[in-house]
Amino acid sequence: MDFTKLFELVVSSALINNFVFTMFLGLCIFFGVSKKMETAVGMSITFLMVMVVSAALSWVVYQFIMVPLDLTFLKIIIFIGVVAAFVQSADTIMKKVSPSLYYKLGVYLALITTNCIIIAVPLKNAGEHYNFFESIAFALGSGIGFGLALIIMASIREKLEVADVPAPFRGLPISFIIAGLIALAFTGFSGLITL
């Protein structure tokens, strides 16, 4: 196993090919929960965990069920099913096993199925023919990248509350422009690693 390659994969999916700023996925959640720092942190943690587990599950399903049975053309339906089933069961288990954790993170869990990154990562893993560890590294990097974006955005938007923004731009439009400026900064990472 090649650890350098795995490390490069994590860094590149977190910084260079950041899902939010260069691939534009997960924007609904990105703008939806980046209003407060606390919710942003909660969402990032939940998302990272779900991301890694569901990528691993999807990989197993893809390699051991879909490829042998020639079902790869059904990958969209099957992956969304795997993710939804996992989120639903995680929700139920967490409620039973650790109510305090559920109280803190349960809300975000329900929101996660509407996040396009969660379905994009298994699709990309399958498309790029990553092996099991590469899939997990890719999911981990994507989760870190999403959390990073969310936390940067939340810290700026908290300051924005007291800023004097022109009326038509209040709320979402100004957030978009801020995201544009952050994205511009993130282009500075390109070329850091060439895979």
Partner 1 sequence: MSLKPKSNWELIKNGMFGENTIFRMAISLCPSIAVTNGMKNGVSLGVAVVFVQTMVNATVSLIRNFIHPKIRIPIFMLIIAGYVTIIDLLMATYARPVYKEIGLYIQIIVAFASIFARAEVFANKNKLWPSICDGFGMGLGFLLAMIVISFFRELLGKGELFGYSLISGNPLLIMILPAGGFLAVGLLMGFFNWVDMKFFGGKGASGV
- Smallest distance, Å, CB 189 to partner 1? 12
CB-nearer residue toward partner 1: 68 or 168: 168
- Smallest distance, Å, CB 73 to partner 1? 7
The reply on whether position 110 binds partner 1 by CB under 8 A is: no
The one-letter amino acid code at 2 reads D
- In terms of DSSP H, where are the helices of 1-131? 3-11, 27-32, 37-61, 75-97, 99-112, 116-128
End-to-end Cα, the chain, rounded Å: 16
φ/ψ bin of 185: left (φ > 0), alpha (ψ from -120 to 50), beta (otherwise) = alpha
Which string of b and e fits 41-64 if b means at least 16 CB within 10 Å? ebbbebbbebbbbbbbbbbebbee
Q: Which stretch binds partner 1 (CB under 8 A): 39-47, 54-62, 89-97, 165-173?
A: 165-173
The reply on whether position 172 binds partner 1 by CB under 8 A is: yes
Find the binder of partner 1 among 14, 25, 52, 82 (CB under 8 A).
25
CB-nearer residue toward partner 1: 41 or 123: 123
The reply on whether position 171 binds partner 1 by CB under 8 A is: yes
The reply on whether position 133 binds partner 1 by CB under 8 A is: no
Q: Which two tokens stand for residue 107?
A: 């809300």
Would you tell me which residues interact with partner 1 (CB under 8 A)?
21-28, 31-32, 35, 73-74, 76-77, 80-81, 84, 113-116, 118-120, 123-124, 127, 166-177, 179-181, 183-184, 187
